[in-house]
Chain A
């Protein structure tokens, strides 16, 4: 690029020109659209976030075969028959919903990771609050007005959006497919994500006026509107170019999630340096009629999971063909799982922890964590306690995929969270040896069931160790132990439970990245 072109075009960009009565916006010659700059950098890691709105029923998505009879007792009217559950290669304890054959294949290829029972202490059962918690990465009782990915992008791009785009960052930092803006990418000043639904057609906006605004709320909102117009104009031509440069893709299924992912694949291949893409698929709030009563492997939930599974598989096969597989991982999440016990409407009410999927060539394939334990006769209050805090997944992505430092992670997520062995971290120069998933029991207690007292023995490898008591609804009641052990070995804790009501409780151990959850029963 010639420097004088750069200057001339930069000035033209800021001045709306009126010719023959039509507002004309000079954009086409912007140097940042120069195709030589669109070349792909193989070092750019991309995260695709798939939000499943409504609260996906985790127990009918990832079925705990090792707990099958309790599972079947708890939700007889919607349970997936044991022989219909799809098997996972090398894993007899856990299976997935029969409509997810495409993801079963992905698992066999080692490109699917299932993280068990992801949640957080004191779960919220409100769609809106729980969604905000997931998007912001806040504690249950904490209100953050920014999103976790927004804070990450802000950390990497302080000062955004002033003077953006830059030569180093010519593209939107994040893209939300659709007409919505969400909290996930909300930064401290503006939303870091650009929303688009059709990357093949854009409209020039009037953005050039620099006239001052009044010192009123109207002036405040006008500044916002102008900034959106400006950012839109600056970025959209580049998006269109990236979009139009990709002409060959695999055939995607005909559903809204697949259409969104198809755009994402195209934009990544087209050369955008965007780090985070967000897509959304809704309808998971299955309070009633989640299955067809005569065949519980079919119905609303089965259709939803089939769409999810087929769309992810098509996307994965597309990015292999487009040769961008090394750079892309995806993550699904839903604001909560659903209740262990089904209701009489053939559905499930709002619950807490649920499995989460990571997919891509660079995720470590497998099932991470243990099956949730299900009470013999689940009551309407029973929920799945969390094994993995959702922020440990975020922390892992930040440090092992986006290669941010531990201190930056702490700043972005407001606390330090451990890294889980979910991603091939070699992209960040980390040679991670802790890559096998331990299924070893780490907690024993006696007596169990207990009346007034039970002794809990727990095993630590040394280092930071946390022992928590959770109630049947998955809420943390008490922190029993938090210590830094200088040695590996067994420790014990005496739990005096006379004040506890009868029922199921859980002991959760977290030792660095290792997590173990055990059910205990108070008589």
Chain B
């Protein structure tokens, strides 16, 4: 077994090797929440360049917004009727906001599950982790919704513009107290995290000072929220003194401005920060860790991070060209990196639901049952350690930043059993609401994954190729075939006969014979530690 993580010496040159099922699945594993069988075929046929282009091409239409699923005789919403969206309504009612936050999470599951064939949702999760806001703290659900819409619409766009939009986004002003930041007592919360977490980072080259934090806070004074939670600039609260920064920022002075022009200091501050190459490097390292692997040594720093950061700067902080370079690089497809990512809980749960093409009731026309069932998925995610839009703090989930373990932090004695329980449950009993059931349809599933499920060897190969991203010992595959599919029988034709009999004569008995074996096999494959990797 390898004693340490390894790095590839390959760089950003375009990958010229073979473009097959394996490479396609690798790309989709990293850019979508799980791939359907048909998705893999579709992108394989496109070829590398067209596949990457399509994944990075985000449609402008956004998902239908979340609805009121909570009104009842005891919960009254005076402004938004049941089944209508609340995103344009502002309320100070804590109970309503709590119901709406909960509806938001259920809705988010529906968006993830129904994601289009592009990177938008996977990348939006990256940005929501990057800016690390907590819905619970933002409190006002319409602000949470708007905050995430900024990230969603800008996800492959311009990073600098995204930071600018987030800086005075009412959700963020609330979350990091920017709305309370005044000249009499500057609140440093946003001024600090803007630098430490959102832009220049804390890696070796980032040497901004404590005074820089204080001066950034001063430059940002004056932003507040009006009675309806709109961001406005109040020049009477703005610190009009000059703000001189440290040598790290070339001793830049932001000249204090009075009146409405004080708001310009926000842009000047961002302009100053974005002069630092550390910004591009910090973001590229984070993108690399999210899309490739957490291990960055001198090799990766020199061959990937530095040229990627240069491209980021040359493209004026446009995100799409950077991702294009990375996702079609020979580095990305090096076999060292295939299947080396431990799935996040969202990858695990949503990826599973998409792999098995589990159909939920329609989130608009049957929102009651649908939201109820999505809520079960939210509970699963919380149990596994990833409460959607409520990371533990502003740094996001530790698995995305905490050295030296990174995504190994998702897995421990508590969460690994929960992951197995979830896949077992979805195969055995599923969830039911008002007669609507979400559960794995084993027959439908193997037909989608395998061209000829009557052949037990082909079936085993197809299932492992689709569900597993590690190299599986052929002996284990054979053992599982014999013990689970053939239930101990010596000859392959016992399975073939059983399958064919069910196809020609789909009685309950014949169904049960096939279904019981498939259920046992699928459960076992997903209980293998290998299933946790993508």
Q: Which residues of A contact B (CB under 8 A)?
A: 18, 20-23, 53-54, 125-129, 145, 176, 178-181, 183, 186, 191, 194-198, 202-203, 205-207, 209, 211-226, 228-229, 231-232, 235-236, 282, 285, 287-288, 341-345, 347, 349-350, 380-381, 473
A317 to B289, CA, bound (A): 47
Determine how close the nearest CB of chain A comes to the CB of B482; give it in whole angstroms. 9
Partner of A218, one of B403, B469, B521: B469
Do A179 and B529 touch (CB < 8 A)? no
B393 touching A288, Cβ below 8 Å:
no
Q: Give the chain B neighbours of A218 by CB distance below 8 A.
A: 337-340, 469-471, 533
- Taken together as a complex, chains A and B put the C-alpha atoms of A127 and B189 apart, in Å, by 11
Asked if B412 and A181 sit within 8 Å, CB to CB, the answer is: yes
Q: Which residue of A20, A212, A287 contacts B1 across the interface (Cβ within 8 Å)? A: A212
- Please provide the 6 A-B residue pairs with the shortest distance between their CB atoms, ordered closest to farther: A344-B185, A21-B520, A217-B340, A203-B417, A225-B529, A345-B180
Contact A214 B471 (CB under 8 A): yes
Q: Given that A214-B471, A349-B189 are known contacts, is A53 also in contact with B417, CB under 8 Å in the complex?
A: no
Q: Which of chain A's residues have a CB closer than 8 A to the CB of B176?
A: 287
Chain B: which residue is nearest A211 at the CB level? Answer: B473
Other CB < 8 Å A-B pairs besides A126-B202, A343-B180, 15 of them? Answer: A21-B519, A21-B520, A22-B520, A129-B202, A198-B414, A203-B418, A213-B1, A219-B1, A220-B340, A221-B408, A232-B416, A236-B413, A287-B177, A287-B180, A380-B214
**A179 touches which of B210, B383, B421 (Cβ 8 Å):** B383
For B180, the chain A residues whose CB sits under 8 A away are: 287-288, 343-345
State which of A206, A217, A345, A380 has its C-beta within 8 Å of the C-beta of B336: A217
Instruction: State how many residues of chain B have any CB contact under 8 Å with chain A.
Output: 80
Residue B303 interfacial (CB < 8 Å) = no
| Contacts A/B (CB < 8 Å), 28 sampled | A23-B524, A23-B527, A125-B192, A128-B202, A145-B403, A181-B409, A191-B412, A194-B413, A196-B414, A203-B417, A205-B417, A209-B528, A213-B2, A216-B337, A216-B339, A217-B2, A217-B5, A219-B2, A220-B5, A220-B340, A223-B2, A224-B411, A225-B532, A232-B413, A287-B180, A341-B185, A349-B187, A473-B210
| Contact partners of B341 in chain A: CB under 8 A | 221
Answer yes or no: B4 CB below 8 A from chain A CBs. Answer: yes
Whether A222 lies near B385 (C-beta < 8 A) is no
Is the CB of B293 closer than 8 A to any CB of chain A? yes
A343 — nearest CB in chain B belongs to which residue? B185
Give A18 to B180 CA distance when docked, in angstroms. Answer: 62
B342 at the interface (CB under 8 A from A): yes
Partner of B417 from A23, A191, A232, A343 at Cβ < 8 Å: A232
Given contacts A126-B196, A183-B402, A345 and B293 within 8 Å (CB-CB): no
Chain B residues, CB < 8 A from A220:
1-2, 4-6, 340
Q: Within the assembled complex, what's the spacing in Å between the Cα atoms of A207 and B530?
A: 11
With beta carbons under 8 angstroms apart, the residue of B337, B413, B524 that contacts A217 is B337
Q: How far is the CA of A20 from the CA of B479 in the complex (A)?
A: 14
Q: How far is the CB of A136 from chain B (nearest CB, A)?
A: 11
Select which of A53, A216, A342 is within 8 A of B2 by beta carbon.
Answer: A216
Nearest chain A CB to B151 CB, angstrom units: 21
Q: How far is the CB of B524 from chain A (nearest CB, A)?
A: 6
For B382, give the chain A residue with the smallest CB separation. A179
CA distance A145 to B404 in the complex (A): 6
Known contacts A179-B414, A194-B413, A288-B180; decide if A206 and B340 are in contact (CB<8 Å).
no
Contact with A along B19-51 (1 / 0, CB 8 A): 000000000000000000000000000000000
- Whether A344 lies near B405 (C-beta < 8 A) is no
Whole-angstrom CA separation of A303 from B186 in the bound complex: 25
Known pairs A195-B414, A222-B530, A345-B187; A216 contacts B408 (CB<8 A): no
0/1 string, B283-309, CB within 8 A of A gives 1? 000000000010100000000000000
A225, B411: Cβ atoms closer than 8 Å: yes
> B1 to A231, Cβ gap below 8 A?
no
Known: A212-B1, A215-B2, A221-B340. A343 touches B186 (CB 8 A): yes
A23–B177 alpha-carbon span in the complex (Å): 52
Q: Report the nearest A residue to B526, measured CB to CB.
A: A206
Measured in the bound complex, the distance between the Cα atoms of B408 and A216 in whole Å is: 16
Residue B335 is within 8 A (CB to CB) of chain A in the complex:
yes
Cross-chain contact B413 with A21 (CB below 8 angstroms): no
Residues of chain A within 8 A of B75, CB atoms compared: none
Closest to B345 in A: A179
| Contact residues in A for B409 (Cβ distance below 8 Å) | 180-181
- Name A344's contact: one of B184, B394, B411 (CB within 8 Å): B184
**Is B392 in the interface zone, CB < 8 Å from A?**
yes
B517 lies within 8 A of chain A by Cβ? yes
B443 adjacent to chain A (CB < 8 Å): no
Query: A-facing mask of B153-180, CB < 8 A → 1, else 0?
Result: 0000000000000000000000011001
Q: Which residues of A contact B394 (CB under 8 A)?
A: 127
B413 contacts A228, C-beta separation under 8 Å: yes
Residues of chain B within 8 A (CB-CB) of A125 are 192, 210, 213
Whether A180 lies near B473 (C-beta < 8 A) is: no
* Closest B residue by C-beta to A218: B339
Question: Does B415 lie within 8 Å of A179, measured CB to CB?
Answer: yes
> Given the complex of chains A and B, what is the CA–CA distance between A22 and B417 in angstroms?
16
Residue of A nearest to B176 (CB): A287
A207 to B385, CA, bound (A): 22
For B416, B421, B469, the residue with the greatest tally of chain A CB atoms inside 10 Å of its CB is B416
Known contacts A127-B395, A181-B412, A213-B470; is A21 also within 8 Å of B517 by CB? yes
Give A223 to B471 CA distance when docked, in angstroms.
13
Which residue, of A228, A236, A341, has the highest number of chain B Cβ atoms within 10 A? A228
- A172 to B473: give the CA distance in the assembly, Å: 31
Tell me which residues across on chain A come within 8 A of B336, comparing CB atoms: 216-217
Min CB distance B31 to A, Å, is 18
Q: Please state if A222 and B533 are interface contacts (CB–CB under 8 Å).
A: yes
B383: A residues at CB distance < 8 A: 179
How many Å from the CB of B426 to the closest CB on chain A?
A: 15
Is B185 a contact partner of A216 (Cβ separation < 8 A)? no
Report chain A residues within 8 Å CB of B236: none
Between A23, A198, A347, the greatest number of chain B beta carbons within 10 A of the residue's beta carbon is seen for: A23
CB pair B192–A126 under 8 Å, yes or no, is yes
CA distance A213 to B471 in the complex (A): 7
Complex Cα spacing A341 to B527, Å: 54
Best-buried of A129, A179, A236 by chain B (most CB within 10 Å) = A179
Contacts of B181 in A (CB 8 A): 345
Q: Is the CB of B188 closer than 8 A to any CB of chain A? A: yes
Q: How far is the CA of A295 from the CA of B97 in the complex (A)?
A: 26
Chain A: minimal CB distance from B311 (Å): 24
- Flag whether B516 is at the interface (Cβ < 8 A): yes
Expressed in whole angstroms, the minimum distance between the Cβ of A249 and any Cβ of chain B is 22
B331 CB to nearest chain A CB (Å): 13
Which A residues are in CB contact (< 8 Å) with B186? 343, 380
Assess whether A203 is in contact with B421, with CB atoms less than 8 Å apart.
yes
Does B240 sit within 8 A of A, measured CB to CB? no
Residue of A129, A181, A214, A232 contacting most chain B CB atoms (<10 Å): A181
